[in-house]
Amino acid sequence: MCNDYRLTVSAASIVEDFSDLKIKITFSEGIPNIEPRADIKITDTAAIVRWLERGSGDLVQRRWSWSGPARKPVFNFRADGREFGSNRCPILADGFYEFTTPADPKKRDGEW
């Protein structure tokens, strides 16, 4: 995933989508106020689902990325040969921004 995405659905819609997958969503910190956002960038706070146990998750708001060894935010890396514990979680998105080669090299260009 790139470093810019969008989420424009409500918490109720998220719960319904996970229910279709037979995954129960809880709200240990209360139902988060998920405002429709077309531009969520690295280090912004946004909705995630923390896995609790098989078949259930917890919908919370958290910073998107984590601090790497040089204290810079990490959001994307090659997973080849790595093993992951239970600290991974899905980033809830209904679109992401993919950067393209701009016609003008001084500008960033891209598409949803």
Strand duo 24-26 + 56-63: pairing: parallel
- Report the Cα 1 to chain-centroid distance in Å: 9
Percent of the chain, pLDDT > 70?
71
Residue 15: pLDDT above 60?
Answer: yes
pLDDT tens-place string over residues 91-105? 788 887 776 666 666
Say what the pTM is. 0.71
Give the whole-angstrom CA distance, residue 3 versus residue 65: 9
56-63 vs 45-53, strand pairing mode? antiparallel
- Report the DSSP pairing between strands 56-63 and 109-111: unpaired
